[in-house]
Amino acid sequence: MRILVQRVDEVHIKIEKNITSSSGKGLLLFIGISTDDNEDIIPYFIDKITNLRIFDDAGGKMNLSVKDIGGDIAAVSQFTLYADTSKGRRPGFSSSAPPGKALKIYNSFITALKQTGINITQGVFGAHMEINLINNGPATFIIEKP
């Protein structure tokens, strides 16, 4: 699993020009699932993301987590995070999990994320989405399985 984490002030997810979900200050997660992933890795990612200290404290130091600031999390599936661009001009996606497997792991991840008590919004798995966001920083981090 590979998750791109962006610190944001707001997120609006559109499908077919209609806003399907919105969130405020917090995190936007782009979630990539690989062929060798399974549900056993979910607790690691939930703990890492919800406790990652990437928001400024009163002194301007990154010292607070999304939980500390009472922030939101928007989650979007993103199979292209496992694109192989090393050869040619067209990316290969053989390392991305097939849709059935990815959907199962993605849904389990979202369920676990919602159990944290943080306000969670999400995109629609496999849908073509337009994501409007306001980056805060910008501050962007990649979290991968250990």
Write out pLDDT tens, residues 68-125: 999 999 999 999 999 999 999 999 999 999 999 999 999 999 999 999 999 999 999 9
Q: How many Cα atoms sit within 13 Å of 42 on the Cβ side?
A: 17
This prediction's pTM: 0.95
To the question of domain 2-144 being in CATH 2.60.410.10, the answer is no
Residues taking part in catalysis:
78-80
Q: What is the 3-state secondary structure (H, E, C) of 26-62?
A: EEEEEEECECCCCHHHHHHHHHHHHHCCCEECCCCCE
